[in-house]
Copies of this chain bind each other. A is one copy, B any other.
Amino acid sequence: MKFSDKLETAVRKKNSCLILGLDPIMEKMPEKFSKDPNGILDFLKGVIEETEDMICGVKIQMAYFEVFGSKGVAAVEDLLKFCRDKDLITISDGKRGDIGSTSTAYAEAFLGKDVPMESDALTVNPFLGTDGVKPFVEFCEKNGRGIFVLVRTSNPSAVEFQGGENEISVKVANMVEDLGLTTLSDKNFFSSVGAVVGATLDPKFLEFWREEMPHTWMLCPGVGAQGGNVEDVLKLRKNGLGVLIPVSRSVLYAEDPKAEMQTLFEAQKV
């Protein structure tokens, strides 16, 4: 099954384009959890169970697990299995990218079959250019996986090397749209090559990216804590599809994660 079809199934079933972002920040975790991979697993699994009816998937922020080395990565493996068993879409947020042959190894690590960190999708950094991204696309084609390529982030320094409307990010967007054509779903006309576009960008700018990438699932971080407006992002949907909204810290560290997720869930229901 193509990744885009798998995503559609998950989004329709839950009536949700929300992705729970798993960013286990030690200092913010409730005190009752130990500050180690076991404590992280207990904490995150609890939030997943509280919110699973309102989300289509999860996004695992690799950095917070790598702090614990191999034990942290073992926790990632555990978490991926836990989420797969719940039919949640699993996105590893590792922002990997390298020259071709090394990108192939990263692709195998996350998008291979029966590998320990087997995920439905991976976030990819495009700085090395098309030949560094293509190996990931090949895994999308052969294994029904997906990627989300960084196109335009909304952190303060993003403009420096991603440039404005007519610069680097536009070239990346064109590459993403082109590379996606081999993995287009016959059913929903979205591809398996997605894009990361910051939700806090100007609404007109968000629309611009949708026009540049009409067949692309857009993963839009920044709603909630970072100030992105959920209404603006939802306008990028077509027929209820094509947009994924990750929510991480604003839910994970809320006094009542379930209630916090519920508000977002109601706001985005089709």
Contact = CB atoms under 8 A, between A and B. Distances in A.
Nearest to A61: B102
A76 B74 CA distance: 14
Contacts of A242: none
Interface in A72-128: 72-74, 76-77, 95-103, 105-106, 108-110, 112, 115-117, 125-128
Interface in A186-209: none
A77 B70 contact: yes
B153 A109 contact: no
Interface residues of A, number: 57
A66 interface: yes
Interface stretch (A167-175, A251-259, A261-269): A167-175
Given A105-B63, A125-B127, A161 B172 contact: yes
Interface string A20-64: 000101000000000000000000000000000000000001011
A146 interface: no
A153 B97 CA distance: 12
B157 A127 contact: no
A74 B128 CA distance: 28
B74 A70 contact: yes
Given A95-B98, A97-B95, A175-B160, A67 B112 contact: yes
A216 interface: no
Given A63-B98, A70-B71, A109-B63, A156 B127 contact: no
Nearest to A112: B67
A132 B157 contact: yes
Contacts of A132: 155, 157
A99 B23 CA distance: 13
B157 A130 contact: yes
Contacts of A157: 128-132
A217 to B, nearest CB: 20
